[in-house]
Structure 1
Amino acid sequence: MALNFLKPTYLVKSVYDLSVAELKDQGIKAVLTDLDNTLLAWNNPNGTPELHAWLQELKEADIEVVVVSNNTWDRVKKAVAGLDVDYVAWSLKPLPRGILKVLKKQGLKKEEVLMVGDQMLTDVWAAHLAGVRSVLVKQLVESDMWQTWLNRSIEKLAKRIIYRKFGGPIWHDSLGVAAESKDNKTN
């Protein structure tokens, strides 16, 4: 199928549903994550208590979280200031540039990394191009920054085509369930 590069490895409701146990089980040493509407609601710069607890759990388990964002260096630096995570800005997703930069810098193998995001056209596609597994999550909030409008419009068309072929999405509460699903459909 022509749009296979937009099909994520996993469909999980939220980045916070990625548990330490499952990540360790999958051999994951680093979770690369988009910023806006994946890790943080774009209009909630401080994050939620749930986010801070999740980040702490991963830190205690020696699983690194790295933000890979298309935003400017100033925007990303400001957004992650209170989160104690590394980041790559201007990653130019869907190009794999940001993901590959993290792999090289951290000395990680592709199978030790997950790329998590809320957009197929940027996050999932970049993961495919970089050769790493992808996790598509639901948007934290329905609204987006104005720059995201075009991507979302194109993505809606791609979703219609994918839904016709595979059916609607089946969202999971964990990686384990998503990995076991034989019908892991795409949103």
Structure 2
Amino acid sequence: MGLLEPDRYFSRLSHIDLERDLRARGLDCVLLDIDNTILARDTHEVPRDARLWLARAREAGVGVCLVSNNWHASVHQLAGELDLPIVAKALKPLPHGLLLGMRKLGGDRASTVMVGDQLLTDVLAAHLAGMRAYMLQPLVEQDLPHTLLLRNLERMMLGSRQPEPAPPACRQNLDAHPQEGLR
């Protein structure tokens, strides 16, 4: 697999099935990007389905560490709100921040996956660190100017590749527990 090719491609975090897509593949440590992966750039909110997924990951014994190139106080506040460890100013695509996050979770390369919305930071950093990379579509189209330029390049690199369809169980679980994961 190429350095810039995600191992899996999903439309949302909640479409990653904890058992089938993580545990069954030996993955119990998740490094999770923040901006436009779990925090919408337009509203600066974590969507309900992402909060629910994080709560279920915790219940399932899947460790999660936030890994962001951002260094502002807001990412540390979010980590505190979600009660998650964080590596800020990670300098992705350099692998150092991911390796630090992996160590915070007590994982190794084989048991860790990076989940993020960008090929040129998240996916590349994961593969340079020797771990798997799951890519998500960005939560919203709004982004930083330089990121919008990179998105055009990413679209060309992804070609016709589309995110995997959401498993029916994901949709059913969210419909059955609409208040779960809310703060």
Would you call these one fold, judging by a TM-score over 0.5?
Answer: yes
Cα distance in 1 between the residues matched to 2:17 and 2:91 = 28
Letter in 1 for 2:162: I
1:109 and 1:44, CA in 2 relative to 1: closer, same or farther beyond 3 A?
A: same
Match of residue 61 from structure 2: 62
- Mean Cα deviation higher: 76-85 or 51-60: 76-85
Does 1:83 pair with 2:75? Answer: no
> Any conservation in 2 of the 1:121–1:151 contact (CA below 8 Å)?
no
Match of residue 122 from structure 1: 121
1:57 and 1:142, CA in 2 relative to 1: closer, same or farther beyond 3 A?
A: same
> Any conservation in 2 of the 1:32–1:66 contact (CA below 8 Å)?
yes
1:134 and 1:155, CA in 2 relative to 1: closer, same or farther beyond 3 A?
A: same
Cα distance in 1 between the residues matched to 2:9 and 2:30 = 15
- Mean Cα deviation higher: 104-113 or 49-58: 104-113
Query: How far is 1:104 from its partner?
Result: 2.6
Does 1:19 pair with 2:46? Answer: no
Match of residue 36 from structure 1: 35
> Any conservation in 2 of the 1:121–1:155 contact (CA below 8 Å)?
no
Match of residue 138 from structure 1: 137
Q: TM-score, normalised by structure 1?
A: 0.81
Which consecutive unaligned segments of at least 5 residues does structure 2 have? Answer: 168-183
Cα distance in 1 between the residues matched to 2:23 and 2:154 = 33
Q: Which runs of 4+ in 1 moved over 6 A?
A: none
Cα distance in 2 between the residues matched to 1:82 and 1:120 = 27
Match of residue 172 from structure 2: none
The C-alpha deviation readout for 1:107-163, integer Å capped at 9, x for no partner, is: 31111111011111110110111011001111101101x3xx223313423542x35
Match of residue 53 from structure 1: 52
Cα distance in 1 between the residues matched to 2:82 and 2:120 = 26
The C-alpha deviation readout for 1:30-70, integer Å capped at 9, x for no partner, is: 11111011011123334222122111110011101111000
Match of residue 113 from structure 1: 112
Which consecutive unaligned segments of at least 5 residues does structure 1 have? Answer: 176-187
Query: How far is 1:103 from its partner?
Result: 2.1
Q: TM-score, normalised by structure 2?
A: 0.82
Cα distance in 1 between the residues matched to 2:133 and 2:73 = 26
The C-alpha deviation readout for 1:145-186, integer Å capped at 9, x for no partner, is: x3xx223313423542x35xxx411210369xxxxxxxxxxx
> Any conservation in 2 of the 1:46–1:82 contact (CA below 8 Å)?
no
> Any conservation in 2 of the 1:15–1:38 contact (CA below 8 Å)?
yes
Match of residue 156 from structure 1: 152
